[in-house]
Amino acid sequence: MAMQAARRLASLKLQRRLLLPSQAESPSISIPTAAAAAAFLHSHATSFGYKQVREEDKSKLVGNVFSSVASSYDLMNDLMSVGLHRLWKDRLISKLNPFSGMKHLDVAGGTGDVAFRVLERVKSVGHRAMQGTLTETEEGTHIYVCDINPNMLNVGKKRAAERGYSEEHCLSWIQGDAEALSFEDGSMDGYTIAFGIRNVTHIEKALSEAYRVLKQGGRFLCLELSHVDVPIFKEIYDVYSFSMVPAIGELVAGDRQSYQYLVESIRRFPNQEKFAQMIQEAGFQRVEYENLVGGVVAIHSGLKL
């Protein structure tokens, strides 16, 4: 009996060494404390929906999402918003008030929805001003579409060709990062970003870059899904978002997971007041926001003075 007990004790000790090696036994392996793990997570992680991921991994994960949904992105926007996203973008352009000869940057706008609206508004203004002679009024106008995802840009280029827009004349497609834009300081009259800023890793960097590339007097406009503040409506919206949107994504785009992320990313985005404060801290003045549909979306704006 004593011999069996000794063997059993030795076996347990061996298992303990294999599962939980001490520093003395295995100096190259250490088990972090809960406090150390929390500190690492705080300093090196960011949100991807409700998950915490390493900062360097987020852009890749977001890129995978939009590569997956690129071909059905516009259709899904129509279905998820019951077509309202078109009116929201029209309102965005109305607040931008495009003019002939402007240099405008649309970030995270790969499919061209906002850029096309800017060009159409410039043509409309030019048509009224020149009584049908568009060439002179459009001269100098240039819209730059910047998106980090090449799949989204390819969709936009195809749509542009279908509309007869010439890239050499007034429209350019640039693959780039909102946090590190390739444009010169003070080179743009306007900057828009629609449904894109919540997907960047560092919102502050994206805002700083927006401020840098704008001219004095240039306007920043951001259309983003935001926070509903009407209690009953919020409950209905939450049920719709978490139950219906991923289901629609699975049915139409064959991708439930990407749309689950999109819903979660909205909830992690700063509320209207906090985001307005962040825009001010980036240097913008006359910062304001307009809630649409009870805060389902908000248009934030600011001027570089």
| Interatomic CA distance for residues 178 and 243, integer angstroms | 31
Residue 167: pLDDT band with limits 50, 70, 90: low
106 is in an annotated binding site: no
- pLDDT at site 30: 36
Work out the number of other CB atoms within 10 angstroms of the CB of residue 181: 22
Phi-psi region of 292 (alpha: psi -120 to 50; beta: other; left: phi over 0): beta
pLDDT higher than 60, residue 232: yes
178 is in an annotated binding site: yes
pLDDT higher than 50, residue 81: yes
pLDDT single digits (tens) 87-138: 999 999 999 999 999 999 999 998 899 999 999 999 887 555 555 444 444 6
> Is the Cβ–Cβ distance between 247 and 256 less than 8 Å?
yes
**Mean pLDDT computed over 204-223:** 98
- pLDDT at site 195: 93
Domains and CATH numbers, the chain: 53-64+82-127+139-227+269-304 (3.40.50.150)
Phi-psi region of 112 (alpha: psi -120 to 50; beta: other; left: phi over 0): left
Closest CA to 156 of 174, 181, 182, 138: 174
> Is the Cβ–Cβ distance between 130 and 136 less than 8 Å?
yes
DSSP annotation string for 73-85: HHHHHHHHHTTHH
Structure tokens at 79: 């279905």
pLDDT single digits (tens) 38-59: 443 444 445 444 445 455 555 5
Phi-psi region of 160 (alpha: psi -120 to 50; beta: other; left: phi over 0): alpha
Amino acid in position 74: D
Distances (CA, A) of 144 to 151, 176, 191: 17, 11, 10
Taking CA 94 as the corner, what is the angle to CA 88 and CA 99, rounded to the nearest 5 degrees? 140
| Interatomic CA distance for residues 214 and 228, integer angstroms | 31
> Is the Cβ–Cβ distance between 271 and 277 less than 8 Å?
no
| Interatomic CA distance for residues 206 and 181, integer angstroms | 9
57 is in an annotated binding site: no
In sequence order, the 6+-apart residues with CB closer than 8 A to the CB of 20 are 31
pLDDT higher than 80, residue 63: no
In sequence order, the 6+-apart residues with CB closer than 8 A to the CB of 41 are 52
Distances (CA, A) of 82 to 74, 75, 85, 179, 194: 12, 10, 8, 31, 17
Residues of the chain with pLDDT > 70: what percent? 70
Residue 276: pLDDT band with limits 50, 70, 90: very high
Average pLDDT, the chain: 79
Taking CA 276 as the corner, what is the angle to CA 272 and CA 278, rounded to the nearest 5 degrees? 120
**Mean pLDDT computed over 278-283:** 98
- pLDDT at site 266: 86
45 is in an annotated binding site: no
- pLDDT at site 170: 87
| Interatomic CA distance for residues 12 and 32, integer angstroms | 23
- pLDDT at site 13: 43
**Mean pLDDT computed over 56-64:** 54
- Tell me the pTM: 0.76
Distances (CA, A) of 208 to 146, 211, 256: 16, 5, 33
